[in-house]
Amino acid sequence: MLKYRDGLADLPTYDTTEEDWNIKINANECNMNLPPIVEDRVMGRLSRLEFNRYPNTEMDDLKEQIAANFGLQTENILIGNGSSEILEKLFFAFGGKNRKIVYPQPSFSMYGIYVKYSESMGVPVELEEDYSLDAEKFITAVKSSKAALAVICTPNNPTGNVVPLGTIEYIAQNITCPFVIDEAYVEFYGESAAGLLSKYPQLIVARTFSKAYGLAAARVGYMLAAKEITAMIDKACMPYHVNVLSLVTADIVYQMRHEFVPRIQMFIAERKRMIKQLKTLPALTVYPSETNFILIKYDKAVELNEYLENIRIGVRSFGNAPRLTNCLRITIGRREENDEWFKALKDFMERV
């Protein structure tokens, strides 16, 4: 009998196995590869890489760029192996035995898993019927649990809606524990909590290159926070935790981020177009979204999902996750992909 760490066997597995989808709209990825001009620069840079050396100045180069963009210093930036690493380390650093971590539900499913990884105790705060967040309820949960960490994802995955910046600030004024804003989808919305960092020293903003910048393969994310916080979280990371291939790629993507503006605008326009179209199907509940995906609710979601799978369209179903029964999350793809999945949805609904 092999003896593993207590609790490890009970952890859920984040299932990442994929089928050979014709249209892959299940993971909120960008359905376009890098803009060719960016890809050229990346390839040129990679061809000059010193593969034999540990990462050296590459992480600092990226930090400098990010710091300059936010009017911060490099000490305020921590780069991670995806924002997943940042989040996991935050839960590890502030969590632990008998420590409470507060986050809304439904939200990013990994929060519950990081709670378990870090042996902390999760305190989920139920979102309202329309998935909006009741700030008072959240503040009360943080205070009464004496929370060690509070996390809000906005725009929220998987519901798509936002917690307005004014509400984020109101919460920040009323809680004293570290407060993480997961902004994985902020580029599709536009309003960031980053501007509040100077006023609220316990605030932490987590960002990723995986969604709007279409760099999911490279696994690069970052956080913005007070120097004291980044220094402590850094201690929880391994030496050289982000590889050079990813660092130089992210560095070029960030330098050339203006090249991504037109496509981000296109995805936003497509989201609006698809919400309008989905609303013509009366059997569906269509939730508002400020992201690159749309959440829908439908009585026959299980059957619809099966139908879509059979024609090799992969959307995200949540099974019977709390508050997400009969919900499907559809990532916005390219225009022709969106036309195709919409037609499939309509065909299904006309048949049943």
Tokens of 51: 């593969």
**Region binding ligand PLP by CB under 6 A among candidate stretches 6-14, 97-105, 173-181, 204-212:** 204-212
- The Cα–Cα gap between 256 and 203 comes to 28
User: Contacting ligand PLP (CB under 6 A), which of 182, 187, 270, 337?
Assistant: 182
Nearer to ligand PLP, 250 or 344 (CB): 250
Cis peptide before 158 (omega within 30 of 0): yes
**Smallest gap, in angstroms, from Cβ of residue 139 to ligand PLP?**
22
Question: Which helix (H) or strand (E) covers residue 270, if one does?
Answer: helix 261-278
Interface positions, 15-74, toward ligand PLP (CB under 6 A)? 28
Residues 6+ apart with CB under 8 A from 320: none
Interface stretch with ligand PLP, choices 94-102, 142-150, 203-211, 323-331 (CB under 6 A): 203-211
Stretch that binds ligand PLP, among 81-89, 160-168, 238-246, 276-284 (CB under 6 A): 81-89
Q: Which stretch in 6-14, 42-50, 59-67, 78-86 sits in contact with ligand PLP by CB under 6 A?
A: 78-86
Residue 221 binds ligand PLP (CB under 6 A): yes
Work out the number of other CB atoms within 10 angstroms of the CB of residue 255: 14
Given 76, 78, 82, 197, the residue binding ligand PLP (CB under 6 A) = 82
Nearer to ligand PLP, 178 or 307 (CB): 178
Identity of residue 330:
I
Residue 150 or residue 344: which is nearer to ligand PLP going by CB?
150
Rounded to whole angstroms, the Cα distance separating 222 from 229 reads 13
With CB under 6 A as the rule, give the number of residues binding ligand PLP: 14
Place of tokens 């004293």: 176
Is the bond into 55 cis (omega within 30 degrees of 0)?
A: no
Residue nearest to ligand PLP (CB): 82
Chain residues 125-164 in contact with ligand PLP, contact rule CB under 6 A: 153, 157
Identify which of residues 76 and 208 has a Cβ nearer to ligand PLP in the complex.
208
Is the Cβ of residue 122 or residue 221 nearer to ligand PLP in the bound state? 221
The answer to whether 184 contacts ligand PLP (rule: CB under 6 A) is yes
**Quick one: which of 118, 208, 230, 292 contacts ligand PLP (CB under 6 A)?**
208
Grouping H, G, I as helix, E, B as strand and the rest as coil, residue 207 is strand
Contact 330, 293 (CB under 8 A): yes
Whole-Å CA distances, 248 to 56, 172, 177, 215, 259:
11, 34, 34, 12, 17
Q: Which of 26, 74, 76, 84 binds ligand PLP (CB under 6 A)?
A: 84
Q: Please tell me the distance from the alpha carbon of residue 300 to that of residue 352, in angstroms, as a whole number.
A: 9
Q: Give the CB-side neighbour count of residue 69, counting CA atoms within 13 A.
A: 16
Do 191 and 163 touch, CB atoms closer than 8 A?
A: no
Report the nearest approach of ligand PLP to the CB of residue 59 (Å): 16
| Strands 285-286 vs 293-297: parallel, antiparallel or unpaired | antiparallel
Residue 237 is a binding residue for ligand PLP (CB under 6 A): no
Contact positions vs ligand PLP (CB under 6 A): 28, 82-84, 108, 153, 157, 182, 184, 208, 210-211, 216, 221
